[in-house]
Amino acid sequence: YQDHDEHAAFRTLLEQPRQDASAIMDTRFPLPRYISADQHKSEARFLICKLNPSVTHNSTDIHAGQAIPTDDVSLKVFMEHLIKLAVES
């Protein structure tokens, strides 16, 4: 819709978060990595993998979402490992 002239307001609405992100990044050091991703594209898969590594090829929950192979571990697995190490010592 945003490519049609009659939906210029919608196009503006979609552009506002990008402008906000750009303004925020201008004040940050070091400069954060900004990724613009479309659904089901490679950038989106990368973001899902980094932001939610709890859904991996080792997941047993079939309703958890799309499985993306990753070397990252979820926060839950990390915390369980820390607890195990703390209890052993």
pLDDT higher than threshold 90 for residue 89: no
Q: Does the predicted TM-score (pTM) go above 0.75? A: no
Count of residues making up the chain = 89
Is 87 buried (19+), middle (13-18) or exposed (0-12) by CB count in 10 A?
A: exposed
**Burial track 37-76 (b if 16+ CB lie within 10 A, e otherwise):** eeeeeeeeeeebbeebbbbbeeeeeeeeeeebebeeeeee
The pLDDT, as a whole number, for residue 41 is 83
pLDDT at 57: 56
35 CB burial (10 A radius; 0-12, 13-18, 19+): exposed
CA 73, CA 79: separation in Å to the nearest integer?
10
Mean pLDDT to the nearest integer, 15-21: 92
